[in-house]
């Protein structure tokens, strides 16, 4: 909203400094400052309100040190992250931008699902919360909507590569690429690092490309569901999910910056995605909200994000990665989420297999998800979180390096 106000003041009254709002980098800087301020200043008030409403976490006895002391800690703190992100976005982003609209919808949709889950746990005294099938249904519906918008909306385009042509009089001309609809994405570590989902269905003939959405949308649904659940599993000890997610979000901000800038994208020889530069405002607001939330979520946590936060974080990260055409980098960039999810799948799968074969279930990890395995080994959760953050930073660096390593 402030963007439109200052543009009006610049146009009508030549207000000094108002022209700064034309630049997404300036608005992104303002967004992160505001989100940090909202999360740290008003986060305390939210925590006090949650305490007053007796919105405390019910802790299952998993036999972990310091676990019982966490019982009663306010949960549903994800509302701090959502509030601290959306207010700066509404103030500083161009709200008509399709990507901004899509991310606002994603945050509200996943936040509502997580909130409902936490509400059932806290107020209905049902430790299981919202049934898993309903969570998955919500994630599938989100993936369906995101996939449909990204495939069919006319403003979701990329710019075709510039072409050098030789005219009839043998002069060389550079033809600028046009904006085109495309299902192109980025494949890391390959020289020709662009992959088109349409190619997976091209074998059926040229007309089959018109039905590429039948393949594209299910892939988007799978990615959204997987990353959202991965973030949810990572939220198990103080500061782990918020800190890891902040690292991932900052990295995606780099991709949004270079992909949405025609000069940077041309220099790095990556696809230029028109209008995606505006994403930087949302990303910085989101990153600021996560860091601000860490002020109260770092060990010992004064508040937990609950599913209100973790499901939202995963959903938003997935959608941002898809928008900037870097979803195939998710196993690297979101390696912590991936490892946490994989540890659960391995543990459950091996337990069922050994129970069927030997009559008793056996385990590979002392406990899953992975961070609980290290807790069982005797590591303090602060050490686990710090080391996971370090691994997350290393994975983020590797991800950024893929821009040039091919």
Domain, as residue range, for 235: 2-401
> Does some domain include residue 51?
yes
Residues 359-400 pLDDT 10s? 889 999 999 999 999 999 999 999 999 999 999 999 999 999
> Does some domain include residue 406?
no
The Cβ-side half-sphere exposure at 233, using a 13 Å CA radius, reads 24
The arithmetic mean of pLDDT across residues 170-190, rounded, is 73
Residues 265-289 pLDDT 10s? 888 888 899 999 999 999 999 999 9
> Does some domain include residue 353?
yes
For the chain, the average pLDDT equals 89
* 172 has pLDDT over 50: no
* 249 has pLDDT over 90: yes
Is the entire prediction scored with pTM above 0.85? Answer: yes
- CA-to-CA dists, residue 11 to 19, 94, 95, 160, angstroms: 9, 17, 19, 33
CB neighbour list of residue 132: distance below 8 Å, 6 or more residues apart? none
- How far is Cα 351 from Cα 36, in angstroms, rounded to an integer? 44
> Does some domain include residue 95?
yes
* 142 has pLDDT over 50: yes
Bridge partner list, 179:
159
pLDDT category at 16 given cuts 50, 70, 90 is confident
Contact at 8 Å (CB) between 202 and 208?
A: yes
Q: What is the pLDDT of residue 273?
A: 93
Q: What is the pLDDT of residue 128?
A: 83
Q: What is the pLDDT of residue 379?
A: 93
* Higher per-residue confidence, 61 vs 109: 109
The arithmetic mean of pLDDT across residues 101-109, rounded, is 98
Q: What is the pLDDT of residue 186?
A: 87
Residues 110-122 pLDDT 10s? 999 999 999 998 8
The arithmetic mean of pLDDT across residues 80-87, rounded, is 97
Tokens of 246: 């902040």
Contact at 8 Å (CB) between 289 and 32?
A: no
Q: What is the pLDDT of residue 163?
A: 52
Our count of domains for the chain comes to 1
Residues 296-336 pLDDT 10s? 999 999 999 999 999 999 999 999 999 999 999 999 999 99
The arithmetic mean of pLDDT across residues 170-174, rounded, is 51
Residues 211-234 pLDDT 10s? 889 999 999 999 999 999 999 999
């Amino acid at each position: 909203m402030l963007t439109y106000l200052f543009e009006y003041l610049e146009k009508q009254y030549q207000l000094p400094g108002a022209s700064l709002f034309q630049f997404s980098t300036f608005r992104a800087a303002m967004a992160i400052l505001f989100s940090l301020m909202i999360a740290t200043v008003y986060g305390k008030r939210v925590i006090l309100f949650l305490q007053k409403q007796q919105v405390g976490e019910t802790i299952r006895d998993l036999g972990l040190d310091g676990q019982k002391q966490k019982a009663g800690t306010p949960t549903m703190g994800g509302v701090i992250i959502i509030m601290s992100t959306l207010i700066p976005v509404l103030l500083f982003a161009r709200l008509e931008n399709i990507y901004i609209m899509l991310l606002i919808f994603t945050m509200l949709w996943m936040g509502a699902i997580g909130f409902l889950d936490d509400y059932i746990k806290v107020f209905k005294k049902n430790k299981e919360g919202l049934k898993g099938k309903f969570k998955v249904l919500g994630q599938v519906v989100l993936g369906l909507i995101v996939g449909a918008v990204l495939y069919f909306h006319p403003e979701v385009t990329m710019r075709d590569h510039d072409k050098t042509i030789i005219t009839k009089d043998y002069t060389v001309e550079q033809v600028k690429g046009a904006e085109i609809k495309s299902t192109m994405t980025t494949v890391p570590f390959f020289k020709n690092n662009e992959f088109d989902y349409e190619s997976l269905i091209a074998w059926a003939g040229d007309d089959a490309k018109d039905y590429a959405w039948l393949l594209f949308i299910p892939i988007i649904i799978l990615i959204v569901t997987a990353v959202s659940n991965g973030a949810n599993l990572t939220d198990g000890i103080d500061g782990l999910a918020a800190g890891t997610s902040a690292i991932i979000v900052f990295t995606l901000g780099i991709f949004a910056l270079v992909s949405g800038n025609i000069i940077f994208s041309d220099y790095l020889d990556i696809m230029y995605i028109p209008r995606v530069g505006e994403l930087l405002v949302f990303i910085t607001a989101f990153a600021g909200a996560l860091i601000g939330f860490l002020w109260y979520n770092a060990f010992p946590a004064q508040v937990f994000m609950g599913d209100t936060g973790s499901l939202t974080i995963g959903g938003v990260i997935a959608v941002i990665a898809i928008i900037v055409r870097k979803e195939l980098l998710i196993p690297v960039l979101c390696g912590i989420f991936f490892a946490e999810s994989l540890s659960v799948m391995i543990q459950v799968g091996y337990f069922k297999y050994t129970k069927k074969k030997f009559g008793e279930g056996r385990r590979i990890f002392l406990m899953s998800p992975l961070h609980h395995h290290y807790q069982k080994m005797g590591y303090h959760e602060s050490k686990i979180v710090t080391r996971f953050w370090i691994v997350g930073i290393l994975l983020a660096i590797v991800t950024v390096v893929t821009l040039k390593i091919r």
